[in-house]
Amino acid sequence: MLDFVLFVAFPYLAIVFALGFGIYRAVRDPVSFSSFSSQLLEKELLYRGSASWHYGILIVLAAHGAALVFPRFWRLLGGTPLRLWGLEVGGLALGLLALAGLVLLLVRRIAIPRIRRVTTAMDWALEAVLLLEVGLGVLVAVSYRWGSQWYLATAVPWVLSILTLRPDSSYVVNLPWLAKLHFAGAFLLVALFPFGRLLHLATSRLSYLFRPYQVVIWQRRGRRGTRPA
């Protein structure tokens, strides 16, 4: 029963909820789609944490997506021991890089009062779930070898069965609970996605990638007899 809830019912609820609330926000509250950057409040920790987090997680997600869309290619990619070891070591390194960046961003929110004051409850919740999900991914990679290959025989057909409206949880129910929690956590992030600031990524135009830099000019009061700098 629990497996049915986690791997059949919950994925559909998460997808429907994300789409429904995302469309509702787009129609009723489009202004809230801003990322509300805190770069002007603190830059150094933001740069270090954000760079590590984005480089690590984007490549990891791209690899997961490639295995989902091109499973035969991914199987051939890990078809020799040397390439398989490369996938395993590279994936673990990227996961650790993403985890380190996320921890640094979380420390930034906790340690700097100005950042803490502008952090919402949803920011805390989303970062906590992200930390848990990435941490579980790293633990799976450390605890169970050759995940880049058994992922093809478990998670890939399970996700495809969900997307094709023919759900089949038998692909994942016999996996260790560490892996099962990691899979379920991915759909928990899907459910939380429309509540956070990341929703602006799904609604941004392609021209956003090519827009010119935004110039920010500080206006400070100078001493008497001097103009503002």
Domains and CATH numbers, the chain: 2-204 (1.20.950.20)
88 close to 82: Cβ distance less than 8 angstroms: no
Return d(Cα 88, Cα 93) in angstroms, integer: 9
- Computed on alpha carbons and rounded to an integer, the radius of gyration of the chain in Å comes to 21
In single-letter form, the type of residue at position 23 comes to I
Return d(Cα 114, Cα 117) in angstroms, integer: 5
Which pLDDT value is given to residue 220? 61
Angle between helices 121-143 and 81-111 (to 10 degrees): 150
For residue 47 the two structure tokens come to 């740069």
Which pLDDT value is given to residue 211? 56
Which pLDDT value is given to residue 229? 46
Return d(Cα 107, Cα 176) in angstroms, integer: 31
Compute CA distances 85 → 42, 181, 182, whole Å.
39, 25, 22
Which pLDDT value is given to residue 31? 58
Q: What does pTM read for this prediction?
A: 0.80
Instruction: List average pLDDT for each run of 10 residues in the chain, which is 229 residues long.
Output: 92 92 75 56 74 92 94 91 93 96 90 83 88 95 92 95 95 94 94 73 52 59 51
